[in-house]
Amino acid sequence: MSFMQPSPVKYACSCGIVNPINKLFFCRHCPKLRCGYCVSHEVESHFCSNCLENIPSSEARHKKNCCANCFDCPCCHHTLSARATTVPVVRKTEEPKDGESAGAATPPPASSKPSAVPTTKKMYYLSCLSCRWTTRDVGIPDQGVATGTWPDNECLYQARFNTLMEYYQSVVLQEKQEKQEFQRRKAPKAHKFPSLTDRTGLTVSLIRRQIGWSEKNVPKTKPLNITPAEAISELEDLPQDIFTQPINLRNITTVAQRHSQPADQPTAVGNLYPQRRSLWIKRSLRCRQCEHNLIKPEYHPTSIKYRIQLFASYHVPEVVMVRLEHPLEAGQSNAILLKLSNPTMYDMTISILDEKPTEEPQINPDEFQATCKIKEEAVTSSPLMKVAALARQTLTKEVTREVRDVANAKIKLLESEFVLNQRDDSKEFDEEVQAQTEEPNFIVWRKGNKVLLRLQFTPAAELEVNDVVTLGFFMQYTYVNTVSNTAEKKEPTTHTLSSRLFIDAGRIEKGN
Amino acid sequence: MPAESDIKIMPKSVVCEESTLNGDITISSGCVVHPSATIIAEAPIVLGENCIVEEYATIAHRLKDGAASDASNTLHIGANNVFEVGCTVEAARIGDKNVFESKCFVGSGVTVSSGCVVGAGIQLRTAQVLPENTIVYGRQALQREAIEKQGSQTLQIDFLRKVLPNYHHLRKPNYDPKKARSVV
């Protein structure tokens, strides 16, 4: 399969979106095709793509999803790298004459005093290898250590931002408290035994008042007062020289540069400061119907492997378009050669249909859901994961939209179904001494788990020159499921599944 | 085609024999010319001190219609320039401490002053003047101004001067300014 050019063979996902097979997933538990739109995406872990450090999600939130050590160039948005320079250290005992010349690369062997031995110190600055921007350009002093000590640029409105944030946090807290209070009053605690106050109508606060005690009150949190923002009606006039002075475009930032520094959005290049690098995430995908994981990456940022990977190309027979027998002509019968390969360890029986086959009775959905839930509990036993599960986006009922039928050619169905052999990597190296079995005449070639198929079709007669011919059919295949949904069934079950395929065969070359 | 003898190589420079040098070329002391670098001088070229011309770099001084190919039409390249791998420079004037990064192209109408950096893969074809300390970078060839000039490549030159003679035949320095002066 070529990843560089779009595949002409597309599969319809169970949600109705058409995708090439390498963008599809296969839920073994449902068992259905899933695509990126009909699974729920979850953040598995945060990491920095530059230093490959794994950062826990709570820490990531605290650091505003930025890496603590890595910076992006404010000018061209590449990663900055630390450069070391040796700076001669000037001793205080030395004469000012030595201090003057200390800027040169080699301090002169001035006096015979032992204190005048030139000592150098390593200093670091950040530099962009793409546009040669350095921290020295904006006057950030060099640092003695390469990471960790770079100053955060505080923008002008930082204090205002902080007070606003505090204020709204306290507002949220107050609202929460009031809600709790309201709930507590609305539903009094049901005691096992009726208390005295229930019968007499006395309440705790009444008694307290009668005794003469002070009112017991939870100190209510009051939001801090903030000064509201004021609209200014009078603006300062533009400086006079704005109309007379020519603009030096090199000192003015681009829109991309301003947006990368959203807090102050500088207009002059002198105010560009290194930006902390945004974290990347590893993503896990979950089937929305049965809540099983389809994709779960390895936790470690340097690993590109998966713990769970249910890509469709591991489970669904792959169809590759090989060639057409004749140039496409409207209304003229033609044949297409398709290569089918079986990625699973079990033989598949495949048939090509032109309408959706009647579904085999599925497993009872409720029971199925229940067993899935139990499994899920076992998997996500840690408390942290449970919280995550609660916060997870609500799993919606599957919305099936109709697959738009874009096929415009008539398929001549195959006379019979055929078997696609199991995948066997060791067979690749075997000598080819396969006994010639009686093959149906539509099978052109067969080797191992691959079959070359000749499928006859006729493009619709009303097609014009340069119209795209699309073949559409249902591919029914048997799939052996090795995972069992119920505890008692252990042996693999065989399902008969079907996928709808659309093949972009090409354009009509000749008119009638 | 001018004769090979028009090439003047000053002492202390390292010029590999596999480089292609055409025309009236003066290579000042301290320069490093890598193998398969190309310098085409339809009119005279004077390469300043401590320049590095890397592999597949091309420096050309093309003759415009009607222009003389004598000493009055000399391309003077300043000191401490770096021509990185695969760049093509046909600029009208080149100052000091410039860096032409890999695979960049600088056309004949461009005047490069000093301390400029032409980023990798950038094509400058229209007639323009790069002011001092200009850095051209990125896919859209944005320009910015650096605060300070690019540092000199002394370490790199010293290293190349040590390493290149071990693996390549060198063109011998054939022109000594001190001797020439004494002769005159």
ipTM of the complex: 0.82
How high is the pLDDT of residue A389? 43
pLDDT tens by residue, A438-491: 778 888 888 888 899 999 999 888 888 888 889 999 999 999 887 765 555 567
In chain A, which residues touch B (CB < 8 A)?
75-76, 130-134, 136-137, 250-251, 254, 269
- Whether the predicted pLDDT of A62 surpasses 90: no
Residues of B with Cβ-Cβ distance to A251 under 8 angstroms: 145
pLDDT tier at B161, thresholds 50, 70, 90? very high
DSSP E strands in A13-138: the ranges are 18-19, 24-27, 32-35, 39-47, 54-55, 66-72, 80-89, 119-128
Determine the Cα–Cα distance for residues A184 and A92; give it in Å rounded to an integer: 71
Residue A261's CB is within 10 A of a number of other CB atoms, namely 18
In this structure, is residue A480 part of a structural domain?
yes
Closest alpha carbon to A19 in A502, A510, A444, A445: A502
Torsion sign across C-alpha atoms A470, A476, A482, A483 = positive
Whether A132 sits inside 8 A of B150 (CB atoms) is yes
Give the distance, in angstroms, between the CA of residue B66 and the centroid of all CA atoms in the same chain: 24
- Whether the predicted pLDDT of A377 surpasses 50: no
Whether B137 sits inside 8 A of A130 (CB atoms) is yes
Whether B117 sits inside 8 A of A269 (CB atoms) is no
Whether B119 sits inside 8 A of A130 (CB atoms) is yes
Q: Where are chain B's structural domains?
A: 4-178
Q: Within A361-459, where are the H helices?
A: 365-379, 383-391
How high is the pLDDT of residue A483? 72
How high is the pLDDT of residue A244? 87
Residues of B with Cβ-Cβ distance to A134 under 8 angstroms: 147
Determine the Cα–Cα distance for residues A338 and A504; give it in Å rounded to an integer: 12
- Whether the predicted pLDDT of B5 surpasses 70: no
Torsion sign across C-alpha atoms B71, B75, B76, B82 = negative
pLDDT tens by residue, A102-153: 444 444 444 444 555 678 888 899 999 888 899 888 888 888 888 778 887 7
Give the distance, in angstroms, between the CA of residue A269 and the centroid of all CA atoms in the same chain: 33
Chain A: residue nearest B121 by CA?
Answer: A130
Whether B144 sits inside 8 A of A254 (CB atoms) is no
How high is the pLDDT of residue B102? 95
- Whether the predicted pLDDT of A18 surpasses 50: yes
| Placement of tokens 């004494």 in the chain | B182
In chain B, which residues touch A (CB < 8 A)?
117, 119, 135, 137-138, 142-148, 150
Task: Convert A75-106 into a string of H (helix), E (strand) and C (coil).
Answer: CCCCEEEEEEEEEEECCCCCCHHHHHHCCCCC
In this structure, is residue A475 part of a structural domain?
yes
Instruction: Assess contact for B39 and B59: CB atoms under 8 A.
Output: yes
Between A132, A254, A269, which is nearest B117 by CB? A132
Residues of A with Cβ-Cβ distance to B148 under 8 angstroms: 136
- Whether the predicted pLDDT of A191 surpasses 80: no
Nearest CA-CA distance, residue B146 and chain A, Å: 7
Torsion sign across C-alpha atoms A165, A170, A175, A176 = positive
Residues of A with Cβ-Cβ distance to B117 under 8 angstroms: 132
Percent share of chain A, pLDDT over 70: 76
Of B162 and A161, which is predicted with more confidence?
A: B162
Q: Please give the angle made by the CA atoms of B64, B9 and B99, to the nearest 5 degrees.
A: 65
Indicate the number of domains in chain A. Answer: 1
In this structure, is residue A349 part of a structural domain?
yes
Between B138, B145, B147, which is nearest A130 by CB? B138
How high is the pLDDT of residue A393? 46
Percent share of chain B, pLDDT over 70: 95
The pLDDT mean for chain A works out to: 79
- Whether the predicted pLDDT of A345 surpasses 70: yes
Between A76, A132, A254, which is nearest B146 by CB? A132
Determine the Cα–Cα distance for residues A313 and A319; give it in Å rounded to an integer: 10
How high is the pLDDT of residue A364? 47
Determine the Cα–Cα distance for residues A68 and A47; give it in Å rounded to an integer: 11
Interface test with B, best of A250, A257, A272 (most B CBs within 10 A): A250
Chain B: residue nearest A135 by CA?
Answer: B147
Q: Which domain holds residue A487?
A: 9-24+318-427+438-507
How high is the pLDDT of residue B150? 78
Determine the Cα–Cα distance for residues A151 and B76; give it in Å rounded to an integer: 44
- Whether the predicted pLDDT of B119 surpasses 90: yes
Nearest CA-CA distance, residue A346 and chain B, Å: 51
pLDDT tens by residue, A309-326: 999 999 999 999 998 888
Span A278-283, average pLDDT: 92
CATH code of the domain made up of B4-178: 2.160.10.10
In this structure, is residue A136 part of a structural domain?
no
How high is the pLDDT of residue A85? 86
Whether A76 sits inside 8 A of B142 (CB atoms) is yes
Of A92 and A319, which is predicted with more confidence?
A: A319
Of B157 and B72, which is predicted with more confidence?
A: B157
Determine the Cα–Cα distance for residues A184 and A177; give it in Å rounded to an integer: 10
Most confident of A92-96, A443-447, B111-115: B111-115
